[in-house]
Chains A and B, each alone.
Chain A
């Protein structure tokens, strides 16, 4: 498949050049994904998607246009090339645009990104896997009234980038995800929880663990109460860290947002913006990492970038545009939604270096506090203000988890949150975009009612 994509790409670059592009870049992708869905504890549906398409970036002077199409047919690609050149011509020139990236001599070797067993997985085997997760979830809930939603999805895909600047790269990756989401109904109460795993390799998926853990979590959520608000410590477990830090901090060190003055982090390279306990690395070459890749979405080699060392900001996340604008080395963090978009900036594997202690240890150290297992909230990226609903969480008293909480919000500015992380645990897990342990925020405003 990759050879075929490269050949189509070479041709498309020439088409864009013939139509007037001074530089052109073609991103092609072809993916197959397969999923099995469970509703009310039994299999409900299966779907198979084969998605192939092509996106073309054309440059004329300092003007850039982009167009894509959801096929790989020659006449559709010709139309996309024409549209991308037309858009470049109609654009207002960007004085900071220098060039599309050029080919590099060396690219890293990143192992563990492709699993043949995922490519050849049959629908029967997929159904079997998800049923194992559901059966494990059921076993924990025996005797209760419940309904389990679950899904197994696998995908495999090839992508290629070809450009007029000498880039001609391709790779193949796979991934597998399983989740279970049990809802429990009791007299006068209903609650739910979920658990999941994501990996590049099918063998890393443990459906029994996912099912069992999700049901145990759901049982723990029964009996939610409001609490007396006030200022208190908050423990964020890896899922909550992924939203708050993975979304709310990785997004703030996106160089494009910083350059435009839209981020609460600004001109801070070399300053201590976080607690000394906090070390963060963005590792695009982590073996088998869900966010790992040999090259980024513009064909720039992946790398390991130190972000925070002892709380000191070492680097922002860059793509070729922002790196050229700041005249510094590109960190290879260009990201795009497959062929259907222009490169923006995103973290690869955003990793918090583990400290010491299990989650139980962290809980035992608090006299009073909130354990936040999950939230859907991100901060206002300009002011840093965060007001997060505790989607799943617990009240801690005298070093013990007392009861689940409901209608409870945690409020804190991100600049304070980063400074107040006085404890980092060792309960590291991979959540898809992050590899992180739990962290403890020394104090935040808790509102409940």
Chain B
């Protein structure tokens, strides 16, 4: 690995660029989708190759190579460097890369590595959960269960002297159930994704995932479509995580600053929410889906206090953004695979606990809606707007939970929403997700306690 990386970096520097880095990846994935008890899709993959970057006077070039030989790496290093040189005269903002260097080799120990578990056992797990979901109630008309695992090793090196080897091991299981009662059909899904080996798929919550999913689908048969309007909203921990991620996390990715593409541009060091509000992004948590010791540029990770006591404090940095903004490097650069450039991304993102009891928070809400679990969300930091959708929720009347509602959407403005948060509970939970940006998908995790937002538009039929 070291000699291959060195071949590419040396070749690039020799052409005349100021900085070069390399990621060499070897990843194995397995993906098994069961539907109605039969194998619908069974897939294995191996990704192996190298991504190489070169920088001169603020002009980046990127290329990738699957010919992992010294000559293949040299050739790619040279051509990437030449591409950077060809572009650099047109670049407006000149900058270089500075920053700490790291050398380390981290080996992730898991009890049951995916390679040691037979395909039959993985298929068996997915089938057990799929069967469990279908057997839950006679109104369950379709089930779909997907087991996915990914084992990855990554070597990152750069021309400043960084040389880091890291490993990752991410299992995930998802179960979707469709319930049918006459013409009324509803679907629900539940998922668990953590960091670890196959042993993490043998825990109690995983063993009952099928039931959980079917239970929600059956409950949804008696839900009604939400009625649109401006409401006080209590978010459950999972949906709160989505809010933090969509409404704020993306806007804190520091590549937005040189691009002038976030409404938070002038807000660093200023108040963006109530004093009780703390939002964090922490890749150092143990055993979480968004955890990594070093980022995809080889920078050691640390916890990021995005919002501390209501003040926007920290951003999510890559080598480039920390160099250009003169802020401390914190290890937030991630890439989907060797085929992509690393860019600032979130990891495990959450709202810190507050001091309300969940019951008190509900009892204190005269009229509103509680939103639970999530379907999806998205944001546009340049324009300052975001939207996300809960899979279901409950109307709150006179401080009590009532009628179940489904597919409740919430839209808002990044600069307004945090100031509307006035109650944060003591509980805490996180949920696995996958986040997309610039065409790259990365595994992540988000959550928090129950929390209340006052007066936000909630969409309905």
B83-140 contacts to A, CB under 8 A, are 83-84, 86-87, 90-93, 118-120, 122-123, 127
The interface bits of chain A over 278-291 (1 if a CB of B lies within 8 angstroms of the residue's CB, else 0) are 00000000000000
Q: Which chain B residues numbered 374 to 389 have a C-beta less than 8 Å away from chain A?
A: 375, 378, 380, 382-385, 387, 389
Residues of A within 8 A of B168 (CB): none
Cross-chain contact of B83 among A48, A52, A131 (Cβ < 8 A)? A48
A: number of interface residues (CB 8 Å): 85
CA distance A221 to B382 in the complex (A): 12
- Whether A389 pairs with B409 at a CB distance below 8 angstroms is yes
B-binding segment of A294-302, A364-372, A409-417, A420-428: A409-417
Smallest CB gap from B66: residue in A: A71
Find residues 38-69 in chain A having any chain B CB closer than 8 Å to their own CB.
39-52, 63-69
The residue on A at minimum CB distance from B36 is A260
Among candidates B48, B406, B461, residue contacting A411 with C-beta atoms closer than 8 Å: B461
In the complex, whether B158 has a CB less than 8 A from a CB of chain A is no
Q: For A42, A70, A377, which residue has the most chain B Cβ atoms within 10 angstroms?
A: A70
Q: Which residues of A contact B34 (CB under 8 A)?
A: 92
- Residue B146 is within 8 A (CB to CB) of chain A in the complex: no
| Residue A408 is within 8 A (CB to CB) of chain B in the complex | yes
Give Cα distance in the complex from A388 to B44, angstroms.
36
Find A408's partner among B32, B86, B384, B411 (CB 8 Å cutoff).
B411
Query: Given A190-B383, A389-B385, A147 and B260 touching (CB < 8 A)?
Result: yes
Beta-carbon contact of A385 and B461 below 8 Å: yes
Partner of B59, one of A43, A69, A408, A449: A43
* Given the contacts A70-B47, A90-B118, A92-B39, A387 and B91 also touching, CB distance less than 8 Å: no
User: 1/0 contact trace for A342-358 toward B, CB 8 Å?
Assistant: 10000000000000000
Q: Which of B3-44 contact A (CB under 8 A)?
A: 32, 34-44
Identity of the chain A residue whose Cβ is nearest the Cβ of B55 in the assembled complex: A45
CB distance from B59 to the nearest CB of A (A): 7
- For window 185-211 of chain A, which residues contact chain B by CB distance below 8 Å? 185, 190-192
A221 to B380, CA, bound (A): 14
Also in contact, A407 and B60, with CB within 8 A (given A87-B44, A262-B178) = no
CA distance A391 to B31 in the complex (A): 34
Type the 1/0 row for A117-152, where 1 means its CB is closer than 8 Å to any CB of B: 000000110010001000000000000000101000
Residues of A83-127 at the interface with B, using a CB-CB cut-off of 8 Å, are 83-84, 86-95, 123-124, 127
Between A66, A127, A387, A413, the greatest number of chain B beta carbons within 10 A of the residue's beta carbon is seen for A387
B269 is an interface residue with CB less than 8 A from chain A: no
Chain A residues with CB under 8 A of B92: 40-43
Interface pair A260/B35, CB less than 8 Å apart: yes
In this assembly, does A447 line the interface, its C-beta being within 8 Å of a C-beta of chain B? yes
Contact A192–B41 (Cβ < 8 Å): no
Are B339 and A51 within 8 A (Cβ)?
yes
Number of interface residues of B (CB under 8 A): 85
Do A42 and B93 touch across chains, with their CB atoms under 8 A apart? yes
Q: How far is the CA of A101 from the CA of B261 in the complex (A)?
A: 48
Give the contacts of B404-461 with A (CB-CB under 8 A). Answer: 406-409, 411-413, 455-461
Closest to B82 in A: A123
The residues of B that contact A93 with a CB separation of less than 8 Å are: 38-39
A124–B86 Cα distance when bound, in Å, is: 8
| Residue from B37, B83, B382 within 8 A of A123 (CB atoms) | B83
Instruction: Please tell me if A261 contacts chain B, counting CB pairs below 8 Å.
Output: yes
Contact A409 B411 (CB under 8 A): yes
Instruction: List the 4 closest A-B pairs by CB distance, nearest first.
Output: A42-B92, A447-B228, A409-B459, A147-B260
- Residues of chain B touching chain A, judged by Cβ–Cβ distance below 8 Å, are 32, 34-49, 58-66, 79-80, 83-84, 86-87, 90-93, 118-120, 122-123, 127, 141-142, 144, 178, 180, 185-187, 225-226, 228-230, 258-261, 263, 339, 341, 375, 378, 380, 382-385, 387, 389, 406-409, 411-413, 455-461
Show the binding face of A for B, using Cβ within 8 Å: 36, 39-52, 63-71, 76, 79-80, 83-84, 86-95, 123-124, 127, 131, 147, 149, 181, 183, 185, 190-192, 221, 226, 229, 260-262, 264, 340-342, 376-377, 380-383, 385, 387-389, 391, 406-413, 445-449
Q: Can you list 19 A-B contacts with CB-CB less than 8 angstroms, sorted by A residue number?
A: A42-B90, A42-B92, A44-B91, A50-B63, A66-B42, A87-B43, A92-B34, A92-B123, A94-B39, A131-B90, A185-B260, A192-B261, A261-B142, A261-B180, A342-B43, A383-B187, A388-B409, A391-B380, A449-B230
